[in-house]
Amino acid sequence: MAAISLRGIEKRYGDVVIVKGLDLEIKDGEFVVLVGPSGCGKSTTLRMIAGLETISAGELCIDGQRVNDVAPGDRDLAMVFQSYALYPHMSVRENIAFGLVVRKVKKAEINQRVDDAAEMLKLSGLLHRKPKDLSGGQRQRVAMARAVVRRPRAFLFDEPLSNLDAKLRMEVRAEIAALRRRFSTTTVYVTHDQVEAMTLADRVVVLNDGVAQQVGTPLEVYRRPANRFVATFLGTPTMNVVDKALLKVAVPGNALHVGVRPHDVQARKETAGALVAMRVEHIERLGQESFVFGRVGEERFGAVVDEDALGVLEHGSEVGLFSRADRLSFFNDKGLRIDA
């Protein structure tokens, strides 16, 4: 159990800066998700925490102790790799036990802990198998068991679900959440999948170009994006961001753009009093809900539509778009959030 703090952490390869002065305080027992598009520096950050990459500048502390130059094995962290990195020549049992064997834990204790971890992750019947004889989900669970059995100070996950199909992904996600509840061990989790970020995290760190764009609870980040990048990166469908002049709405101060999530916009037949009127170009009927899309100015704009109440819409119909005022976000000329 550990608090991890990153102070001005940087990673450079020659002239290329991958991570630019990252500050982050991860509290003991907290589940932090690093999320961002490919190449944003999230995996590099995780690998610096793990000790697999050197830190070019800044300070990394675990429980207040500077660990920049501490070997990975001495940081007492466990990592689950995207590829699982299971030792192909060892059985599942040997894979799980390896970290304990290296640390010269007593044999009886190793067996006990491996059995416990295997039971927890439903691997008990598979302990004698080699990794090549396991399915993708089973391999993933072995990788987690290998981390759990060590009882490390923190778990590090590097896109652990990206090699699984959608259904498995949901199952394993639930398992990770369950593990988390059970151990409440500090966890740093890297993903590019916003659903994982939203569902698992205590706090989300949105990274872009090596810079933390926003740090906050999933709801904060979702409801009150700190800038246009965060606003458009999180949430499906993407948040609508249009010029303030296109909407009939009062904007605070020097705000230039107005953002609103499609879920927060209702399309109605009448246009009177609407934010703006829009011609329907495309309708997505997802069963539970339906979205209409059109253009406001040059920008694509989406809204929820209740066709049960409204009757079936057709392409080309004119709709009025309505939203609650407190669901609007405003951004200035630098793309930063302006609060009303």
Partner 1 sequence: MNRVVVVGLLLCALVLAARARAGDDGAEDAAARPEIVLWHAYRADEAAVIEEIVAGINASETAFQVKVLAVPYDAYLDKIGAAIPRGRGPDLFIAAHDPIGDWAEAKTIQPIDDVVDAQTASSLVPGLLPAVVYRGHVYGLPLAFKSVALWRNPRRVPQAPATLDELMRVAVEQTNAAEGRYGFVYENRDVYYHAPLLFGLGGRLFDGEGRPALDDPNNVASIEKAQAINAAKVVPQEVSGTLLLSLFNEDKAAMIVTGPWSRGEIAAGVPFEVSALPDVVDAAGVRRPMKPLLTVEALFLSGRLVDPARRALAVRVARLLSDEARSVLRLKKARQPVALEKAWDSVGDDDDGRVQRGFRAQLDRSVPTPNSPAMKALWSPFNLALGESIGQGTPPSVTLAQAQAKVKGEMAVVEHSTEATGEGGFVVVVGALLLLLLGWTALAVRKFGGAAALLSGIRKNGIAYAYVAPALTATLVLVLFPFAVGVGMGFFRHTWGTYTFVGMENFVSILAGADSTFFRTLGVTVLWTASNIVLHVSIGVLLALILSQARLRFRGVYRVLFVIPWAMPSYITALIWKGMFHPEFGAVNALLGIQGFSWMNSFWSAFAANLVTNTWLGFPFMMVTALGGLTSIPKDLYEAAALDGAGPLKRFTSITLPLLRPTLAPAIVLGTVWTFNMFNVIYLVSGGAPGGKTDILVTEAFRWAFERGQGGAFGTAAAYSTLIFLMLLSYNVAAARVTRGIEGSK
50 forms part of the interface with partner 1 (CB under 8 A): yes
Q: Decide whether 50 or 62 has the Cβ nearer to partner 1.
A: 50
Q: Which of 11, 113, 150, 203 binds partner 1 (CB under 8 A)?
A: 150
Q: Decide whether 103 or 327 has the Cβ nearer to partner 1.
A: 103
Smallest distance, Å, CB 17 to partner 1? 21
79 forms part of the interface with partner 1 (CB under 8 A): yes
153 forms part of the interface with partner 1 (CB under 8 A): no
Q: Which of 6, 77, 176, 201 binds partner 1 (CB under 8 A)?
A: 77
**Residue 227 burial by Cβ neighbours in a 10 Å radius (0-12, 13-18, 19+):** buried
151 forms part of the interface with partner 1 (CB under 8 A): no
Contact between residue 319 and residue 305 where contact means Cβ atoms under 8 Å apart: yes
Task: Give residue 40's identity as a one-letter amino acid code.
Answer: C
Smallest distance, Å, CB 86 to partner 1? 8
Q: Which of 3, 98, 180, 307 binds partner 1 (CB under 8 A)?
A: 98
List the one residue out of 306, 311, 227, 218 whose CA is nearest residue 265. Answer: 306
Pairing of strands 31-35, 186-191: parallel
Q: Decide whether 37 or 87 has the Cβ nearer to partner 1.
A: 87
DSSP string covering 153-211, please? SEEEEESTTTTS-HHHHHHHHHHHHHHHHHH--EEEEEES-HHHHHHH-SEEEEEETTE
Q: Decide whether 33 or 79 has the Cβ nearer to partner 1.
A: 79
136 forms part of the interface with partner 1 (CB under 8 A): no
Helix H, strand E, coil C: the string for 226-243 is: CEHHHHHHCCCCCCEEEE
Rounded (to 5) percent helix, strand, coil in the chain: 30, 30, 35
337 forms part of the interface with partner 1 (CB under 8 A): no
Q: Which residue ranges make up the site for partner 1 (CB under 8 A)?
A: 50-52, 71-74, 77-79, 81, 83, 85, 87-89, 98-99, 102-103, 130, 132, 146, 150
